[in-house]
Structure formats: structure tokens, C-alpha cells
């Protein structure tokens, strides 16, 4: 064996040894646009952390919920980082299913998190159990040109009565324009997110103070009758298959006069590289019915570490990178 062969062998062994010692984090996330953006920055993270590789598992929301819930409850260890909602964090933390984020780094500014979002991610012990990648409420997005064509002016704080009237007047199905696009896809985080917020504006609720279900009460019937009639009159065909992503595509393509959904959608509908109506979009508060309750929600998609992961230190490095000010 000559010297060159020996050196090549040593170099190859060292390279393979480096790969062998690289830790792979498996990240389960939802197929929303902002999570896709996060994945696009993977190279930045791996350059700064060459000993850590990332494996993305990107799933439709209903599938994501099912898989991560099963894995975290059984401590299966299939995922090292999970994208989960504000609702799950305190419940799962109390069950001991999540790892507290105690080591995000000295320069991680926890106090910079919006108080309402931070409190929802904090356990009874005062520790942070997930870090928000983004937070959101809900609002009205509408086509200013179609609103003007219908002879209407969108109020800053519209009622559902105004929204329904405007939707019907803006509908022109011969031109491929639906007056309004709303979530219809079945799912806890799909149509039920929207319908729960809407029902709240109509005075409905899930339970009373004695935890008696309230779904058979007139307020829920009024909500659902209103929603179904509005979608039949002014919504797109096949609305029962449309969730956030499907309605986003419809709005960007100019097929919706209005869309009521997450505030995070603003960066997509107003981006001329992605939206054909970017220069025509206006915004207003989520509607009410005069009861002092609007169809808003508070939500955040967060990164958390399941207790079944064996790679907590690396996972915290990633979460700090993904959610810090930098």
C-alpha cells in the first residue's frame, strides 16, 4: 500500500466517521406555507450545526394530528420535534408527554413572546413547553375591486349580516367568482376551528357551566343554518373538501370575493409572486352579530419535543434556531 492510498483511506474513514456521528432529527410538521418556508431554510441550520441533520415529515393537518397524538401518548419516539397547537401544549405537558424547553440558550428572549401566546405554552410549573413558530387570529380578507363593483363599502368591523349580503352580491359564478370562501373540510383544526369561532359570535358554546353539551341549543342551529345557506348561495362548489390551503389557493387565483380565515394568510394573499389579486386585497375584523363577540380565535403553531425523543439537546438547538429573533 503506497502513501497516497493510505491517506485516501484515512480521509474516507474520517469522513464516514463524521457522518456516523451526525445526529438526525425527525421533525413532524403541517403542510402550511410558513412551515414550507421554514424547511427552505434548512441549509442555514445545518451549516451552523454540521453535527445535526434534519429529516422532515410534512403532513396534512388532520393526518399530522392523528400521528403525533399517537406517538406522544405512547412515547413512541418516532419524532424528535413536533408541530402542535396551543390547545395541546398545556394538556400534554401536564401528562408528562413533553420536554420543558429549559435550554434554548442565554440569548433566547422568552419575554419577547406575546403574553397571550406564551401563557398558553406554559405549564403549571411555569416552564415553557413549546415555542411558537407563528401566532394568529382570524379576520376578513376581501377583494376591494369586487366590493366596489357591488356598490358596497367594507366596514372596519363588519357584521355577519353585512358579510352574507356582500357575498351574495359579489357572486358571479359565470366568471368563476364565489362571493365567499370558508372552511368546509371536516376536522378539528379545519371546519370546526372556523365554525366554533363563528358560533361564538352567534352566542353559542360547546358546554355550559355544568359541562352539559350545548350543541342542541338554538344558537348552534342558527349558526349552522346561516353557514350552510351562505355556502350554498355564495360559496365554491365542493366546499366540503376545502380547508385553509384549498381556500388560500382559490383566493390567490381570484376565485373568492371574501375569505375569512387565519391572519397569517395575509403574507400569502398580498404577495404578488404568489397571488393574482395581491394589489386588490383589503382586510377587516372578523364579523359579529351584535352580541359583542367576534368570530376570532387565538392560535399558534408551535415546536415541541416529545418525551419519547432521545435527542433533546439537538432538538432544543433546532427550536431555538427556528423561533428566535435571528
Q: What is the DSSP letter of 237?
A: T
The arithmetic mean of pLDDT across residues 156-168, rounded, is 98
Per-residue pLDDT, 196: 95
Per-residue pLDDT, 15: 46
Express each pLDDT in 40-53 by its tens digit: 999 999 999 999 99
Express each pLDDT in 16-27 by its tens digit: 444 456 899 999
| pTM for this prediction | 0.85
pLDDT band, residue 225 (cuts 50/70/90) = very high
Question: Cα–Cα distance between 293 and 186 in angstroms, integer?
Answer: 24
Sequence-ordered list of residues with C-beta below 8 angstroms from that of 77, at least 6 positions apart, any chain: 71, 306, 308, 309, 310
Per-residue pLDDT, 20: 52
Please tell me the chain's helix, strand, coil percentages from 3-state DSSP, rounded to the nearest 5. Answer: 45, 20, 35
Question: Cα–Cα distance between 271 and 197 in angstroms, integer?
Answer: 27
The domains of the chain, with CATH numbers, are 23-136+300-323 (3.40.190.10), 138-297 (3.40.190.10)
Backbone φ and ψ for 122, nearest 5 degrees, come out as -105, 135
Express each pLDDT in 85-107 by its tens digit: 999 999 999 999 999 999 999 99
Express each pLDDT in 267-320 by its tens digit: 999 999 999 999 999 999 999 999 999 988 999 999 999 999 999 999 999 999
Amino acid at each position: 500500500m503506497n502513501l497516497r492510498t493510505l491517506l485516501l483511506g484515512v480521509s474516507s474513514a474520517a469522513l464516514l466517521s463524521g457522518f456516523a456521528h451526525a445526529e438526525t432529527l425527525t421533525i413532524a410538521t403541517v403542510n402550511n406555507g410558513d412551515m414550507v418556508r421554514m424547511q427552505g431554510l434548512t441549509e442555514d441550520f445545518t451549516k451552523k450545526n454540521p453535527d445535526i441533520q434534519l429529516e422532515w415529515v410534512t403532513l396534512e393537518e388532520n393526518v399530522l394530528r392523528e400521528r403525533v397524538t399517537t406517538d406522544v401518548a405512547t412515547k413512541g419516539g418516532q419524532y424528535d420535534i413536533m408541530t402542535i397547537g396551543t390547545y395541546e401544549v398545556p394538556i400534554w405537558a401536564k401528562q408528562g408527554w413533553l420536554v420543558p424547553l429549559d435550554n434554548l440558550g442565554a440569548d433566547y428572549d422568552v419575554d419577547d413572546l406575546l403574553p397571550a401566546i406564551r401563557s398558553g405554552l406554559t405549564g403549571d410549573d411555569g416552564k415553557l413547553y413549546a415555542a411558537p413558530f407563528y401566532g394568529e387570529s382570524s379576520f376578513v380578507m376581501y377583494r376591494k375591486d369586487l366590493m366596489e363593483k357591488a356598490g358596497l363599502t367594507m366596514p372596519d368591523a363588519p357584521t355577519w349580516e353585512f358579510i352574507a349580503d356582500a357575498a351574495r352580491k359579489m357572486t358571479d359564478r359565470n366568471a368563476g367568482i364565489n362571493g365567499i370562501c370558508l372552511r368546509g373540510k371536516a376536522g378539528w383544526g379545519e371546519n370546526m376551528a372556523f365554525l366554533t369561532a363563528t358560533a361564538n359570535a352567534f352566542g353559542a358554546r360547546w358546554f355550559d357551566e355544568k359541562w352539559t353539551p350545548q350543541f342542541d341549543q338554538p344558537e348552534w342551529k342558527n349558526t349552522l343554518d346561516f353557514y350552510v345557506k351562505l355556502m350554498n348561495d355564495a360559496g365554491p362548489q365542493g366546499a366540503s373538501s376545502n380547508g385553509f390551503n384549498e381556500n388560500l389557493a382559490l383566493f390567490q387565483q381570484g376565485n373568492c370575493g371574501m375569505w375569512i380565515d387565519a391572519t397569517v394568510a395575509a403574507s400569502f394573499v398580498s404577495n404578488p409572486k404568489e397571488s393574482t389579486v395581491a394589489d386588490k386585497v383589503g382586510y377587516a375584523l372578523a364579523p359579529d352579530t351584535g352580541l359583542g363577540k367576534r368570530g376570532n380565535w387565538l392560535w399558534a403553531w408551535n415546536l415541541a419535543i416529545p418525551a419519547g425523543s432521545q435527542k433533546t439537546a439537538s432538538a432544543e438547538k433546532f427550536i431555538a434556531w427556528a423561533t428566535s429573533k435571528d
